[in-house]
Structures are given as structure tokens and as C-alpha cells.
Amino acid sequence: EPEVTQTPSHQVTQMGQEVILRCVPISNHLYFYWYRQILGQKVEFLVSFYNNEISEKSEIFDDQFSVERPDGSNFTLKIRSTKLEDSAMYFCATRLAANTGELFFGEGSRLTVL
């Protein structure tokens, strides 16, 4: 069964450092998402991406965050200057087409900011 792949599985970084989280979507999927989940809290939407541009973003997705799909395969989330409160699981998700609602999630990248 096709799956969404995320790397790294766990990253530890110092406050203020830049972090890039990577996602390899399912090959024929057109819609890409990043969600995060702070420990013990609910899964929160960050951003959605379609046709090489952001289609929707939440209040959490401020100027410290950016997304891109530089090579047509990897979908990346960059945090420019990490803060302690950025520590969370970050989930990438993809969707096949506009008329399908099923999102396929990766296993997540755990980010720990010290």
C-alpha cells in the first residue's frame, strides 16, 4: 500500500536554529498538508499546499514557517528560528484529488527544541 514517508523521525535542535522536515507524498497525490501535535494536545492544522502554492494556512503558520516542493517530489516544512514551543510531532498528509476527502498521513517527525 502506498504511504507517506517523513524524515527525520526525530530531530533535536537548539532554540534559534533552522529545521527542515521532509515528506515524500504518495506519488499521484495533488494536495499536501502539514499538521502538528504538541504532546498531549490535539492534532492542529498548519498549512495546505496545492499546485505549488499555499492554499490555506492557520494562525500557527506564521513568518517563521515556510513550505515548498523544490524538486517535485519532496514536500518540506522549514522552521526558520525554532522556539521551545515548536517542540511537537509534525505530520505530513496528502490527498489524491479535490473530490476525495481522505487524507493519508505519514508517521510524523518528532521535533525537540532545547
Partner 1 sequence: DAKTTQPTSMDCAEGRAANLPCNHSTISGNEYVYWYRQIHSQGPQYIIHGLKNNETNEMASLIITEDRKSSTLILPHATLRDTAVYYCIVRASGANNLFFGTGTRLTVIP
Given 3-state DSSP classes, what are the helix, strand and coil percentages for the chain, each rounded to the nearest 5?
5, 50, 50
Position among 93, 94, 111, 113 found at the interface with partner 1 (CB under 8 A): 93
Q: What are phi and psi of 52, to 5 degrees?
A: 65, 25
> Whole-number minimum distance, CB 81 to partner 1, in Å?
26
Q: Which stretch binds partner 1 (CB under 8 A): 9-17, 65-73, 77-85, 92-100?
A: 92-100
- Please report whether residue 63 would count as binding partner 1 according to CB under 8 A: no
Query: What amino acid is encoded at 62 in this protein?
Result: D
Position among 21, 31, 61, 77 found at the interface with partner 1 (CB under 8 A): 31
- Please report whether residue 97 would count as binding partner 1 according to CB under 8 A: no
Burial class from Cβ neighbours inside 10 Å (0-12, 13-18, 19+) for residue 68 reads middle
- Please report whether residue 61 would count as binding partner 1 according to CB under 8 A: no
> Helix, strand or coil for residue 42?
coil
CB 69, CB 16: distance < 8 Å: no
- Please report whether residue 68 would count as binding partner 1 according to CB under 8 A: no
| Residue numbers at the binding site for partner 1 (CB under 8 A) | 4, 31, 33, 35, 37, 42-45, 48, 50, 55-56, 89, 91, 93, 98-99, 101-108, 110
